[in-house]
Chains A and B, each alone.
Chain A
C-alpha cells in the first residue's frame, strides 16, 4: 500500500501503447528499470499501463527506437492535482487571502475582559490599558509580556492591590483586586511599649500608659518605655474622688500609646573606588524589526547599522499566532541605542564625600522615611587598591517604639 502511496505523491501517468504486440513495449520498459504496473490489454494492438512521472523521459527514449505510438490517457497523483488546482487562479487567491485574513485576525486583540473591580476602577484600568496599547484591534505581537503590563498597571493605578494579566488566545483577561483601606482596629489588647534599639531618648509624647523613661535617658533594646500597667497610686490625683480611688487600688491594664523618638547611631562601612567607568545612553536610537525562526533572523524593517561608536542592544520578541497555536515565528524588535563609555577619576576628598552620600542614602532606605539623619562622622579611612574604605558613624533620630503585648494571665 505504501508502495502505491509514494507513487501517488510523486505522480504517475497512464500511457496507451498502439502497435503490434504492444505488451512488448512494457517489457522493454521493465527491462530498462522502469517500474510498470496495472498493465491491461484493451485490444490486440492496444495496451495500457502506468509509469512514474519521473520515468517519462526514459520511456520516450525507449520509444524512439520502436514503432509504437504512445498517448497519455491519464495523469494522476499530487503533482497533477496541484497543477490543476493552481490553474484556478481565483481559488488560489481566495485561499491565500483567507489564510492571510485568519493570520491577521489571530494576531489582534479581540476582547479585553476586566473582572473583580468596581465600575469606576474598571474604567480607569481600561484607560490605562488603552494608553499601553491594549485595546480590541491592537496587534498582539506589539505588546509587552503580561508580567510587565501587570507591573505597570499596579504602578499607574494606585487603587489596585493586585492585578493578574492573562492572555488567552486573542482575549486579554485582567483580574484586579481593589485596595480597601481598612482602619487599623483599635488595639484593645493591653500592651507595653519597649525600645527596639539602643539610643538616647529625644522626644517623649505619651498618650496612654505609665512612662518609665525620661528625655536624655539611655535605653537598651527591650527596655520598657511606656508600661500598660496603671498603678493605683501613680494614677491617683488629689482632686479625684474617693470612689475612683478605690477602683484604682488594683492595677489597671491598658494599651500603652506613645510616640518616642530617640537618637540612635550606626556604624556604616562603605568602599568607594577612586576611578570608575560608567555607560551613558546618549538618546540616539534606532529600531529594527526581525522575523525570527530558530536561529534565523530575517530583517523586515530598519536596515543598515547606525554609525554609533558604541551600541547598546535591547530586543524583545513576541510569537505570531495562527488560530490558537503559537507559530515558531517571532517578531523581534531591537532597539539600538548609542552609548558612551565614561571614565571618571576623583580625588580622595570627592570619594569620601561620595561615600558619605551613598551611606546616608542607603541608611535612609533601610530605616524608612520617618528617620532623620542628624549627623555623620568619618571614623576611619584608608586607601587600598585604588579604593577608599570608610567607616562612618551616623547618628539618627528615629522612632524606637516596639509593641509588646501584656500577659494578663500571671
Chain B
C-alpha cells in the first residue's frame, strides 16, 4: 500500500512538475556558503551538539557536521543552523 502511494507521488512530481518537497514530504535544505543551513520540513531533532546536528526526516536522517553550531531559530518543522558547516550527509534508516 505504502509502496503504491510512493509510486503515485513520484509520478505526480514527474508528470505535473509539482514541488517535490511537498509531494514527497522530504526536507528542503538551503545552505548558504558554509555558515548557514536552513532546513524545512524535518521530523524532529535527534542529536544536537556543538559539532553535530542530526535531524529525523521522512526517510532517514540528515546529519550535518561542523564546528560552533548554534540553532539560530527553532520552529515546529524548521531549523536555522549557524556555524561552520563541513558536511551534510543523508543517512538511511
For residue A37, which residue of chain B has the nearest CB?
B73
For residue B49, which residue of chain A has the nearest CB?
A41
For residue A47, which residue of chain B has the nearest CB?
B48
- The prevalent SS among residues of A at the interface is mixed
User: B66-93 toward A: CB 8 Å interface, digit per residue (1/0)?
Assistant: 0001111111100000000000000000
Which residues on B sit within 8 Å (CB–CB) of A40? 70-71
Q: Does A338 contact B (CB under 8 A)?
A: no
Which residues on A sit within 8 Å (CB–CB) of B76? 30-31, 33
Q: Does A24 contact B (CB under 8 A)?
A: yes
Q: Does A36 contact B (CB under 8 A)?
A: yes
Q: Which of B69, B70, B73, B74 contacts A27, CB < 8 Å?
A: B74
For residue B56, which residue of chain A has the nearest CB?
A27
Q: Does A202 contact B (CB under 8 A)?
A: no
Query: Could you tell me if A30 and B74 are in contact, using CB atoms closer than 8 angstroms?
Result: yes
Query: What range describes how many residues of B lie at the interface?
Result: 10 to 19
Q: Does B8 contact A (CB under 8 A)?
A: no
Which residues on B sit within 8 Å (CB–CB) of A24? 45
Query: Could you tell me if B72 and A38 are in contact, using CB atoms closer than 8 angstroms?
Result: yes
- A-B Cβ contacts below 8 A, count: 47
Query: Could you tell me if B70 and A38 are in contact, using CB atoms closer than 8 angstroms?
Result: yes
Which residues on A sit within 8 Å (CB–CB) of B71? 23, 26, 36-40, 49
Q: Does B50 contact A (CB under 8 A)?
A: yes
For residue A42, which residue of chain B has the nearest CB?
B50
Query: Could you tell me if A37 and B72 are in contact, using CB atoms closer than 8 angstroms?
Result: yes
Best-surrounded residue of A24, A41, A47 (most CB of chain B within 10 A): A41
User: A9-28 toward B: CB 8 Å interface, digit per residue (1/0)?
Assistant: 00000000000010110110
Q: Does A353 contact B (CB under 8 A)?
A: no
Which residues on B sit within 8 Å (CB–CB) of A29? 74
For residue B53, which residue of chain A has the nearest CB?
A23
Q: Does A362 contact B (CB under 8 A)?
A: no
Q: Does A35 contact B (CB under 8 A)?
A: yes
Query: Could you tell me if A39 and B74 are in contact, using CB atoms closer than 8 angstroms?
Result: yes
Shortest distance from the beta carbon of A17 to any chain B beta carbon, whole Å = 12
Q: Does A44 contact B (CB under 8 A)?
A: yes
Which residues on B sit within 8 Å (CB–CB) of A27? 44-45, 74
Q: Which of B50, B69, B73 contacts A36, CB < 8 Å?
A: B73
A374, B71: Cα distance in complex, Å: 107
Question: Can you list 28 A-B pairs with a CB-CB distance of less than 8 A?
Answer: A23-B47, A26-B45, A26-B71, A26-B74, A27-B44, A27-B45, A27-B74, A29-B74, A30-B74, A30-B76, A33-B76, A35-B73, A35-B75, A36-B73, A36-B74, A37-B72, A37-B73, A38-B70, A38-B71, A38-B72, A39-B48, A39-B70, A40-B71, A41-B48, A41-B49, A41-B69, A47-B48, A49-B74
A sample of 14 more A-B contacts (CB under 8 A), given A36-B74, A39-B74, is A23-B49, A23-B71, A27-B74, A30-B75, A31-B44, A36-B71, A36-B73, A39-B48, A39-B71, A40-B70, A40-B71, A41-B48, A41-B69, A47-B48
Instruction: Across the A-B interface, give the 6 residue pairs with the lowest CB-CB distance, nearest first.
Output: A39-B71, A23-B48, A36-B74, A27-B45, A30-B74, A37-B73
